[in-house]
Structures are given as C-alpha cells and as structure tokens.
Amino acid sequence: MEEIPGYEERHRARPGLTGLAQVYAPRDLPRRHKFKFDLLYIKKQTFWLDLKLIGLSFWITLRGKWEHRGRKF
C-alpha cells in the first residue's frame, strides 16, 4: 500500500458497477494507470457524474463497443 500514492484513498471509495476507467480507458491499460482514473473519480464524484457514467455504460453496451479500441461513443 505504501508503494502507490493514494492507494489507501481508493479503498475508501465504494465499489460500483461502472467507473471512469471502465468507460474512458482502453481495455489494455495497465492497472497502475487505471488507478489514476479511480483517484480522479474520487475527487470529482457527484450524483450527476454517476448518472452520466451509468448512461454511457448502457450506451456502450447496447452498441457492443466495450471491446472496441478508440472512441466508444
């Protein structure tokens, strides 16, 4: 935990169905970089951001773009 700055903060966040890394990051992005998306989410978390992520997740799923590299929407 001490090797990665902010790791403890990430564990204080409640797990969810989707997040910034799931929607915006490429699938093959290393975990260390996905962690930065989690920290950004913790800092910017709002009800409206959650609604936007849920909506985008449904949109990406309906279009079948989860495995697609590049823009998903």
Q: How confident is the model over 31-61, as pLDDT tens digits?
A: 778 888 888 888 888 999 999 999 988 888 8
* pLDDT tier at 11, thresholds 50, 70, 90: confident
Here the tokens at position 9 are 């903060």
Please give the single-letter amino acid code of residue 19.
G
Averaged pLDDT, 23-31: 81
Task: Mention every residue, 6+ apart, whose C-beta is less than 8 A from residue 73.
Answer: 56, 59, 60, 63, 65
Q: What is the pLDDT of residue 1?
A: 55
pLDDT band for position 62 (cuts 50, 70, 90)? confident
Instruction: Please report, for residues 18, 28, 56, 57, the alpha-carbon distance to residue 70 in angstroms, rounded to integers and kept in the order given.
Output: 18, 12, 15, 15
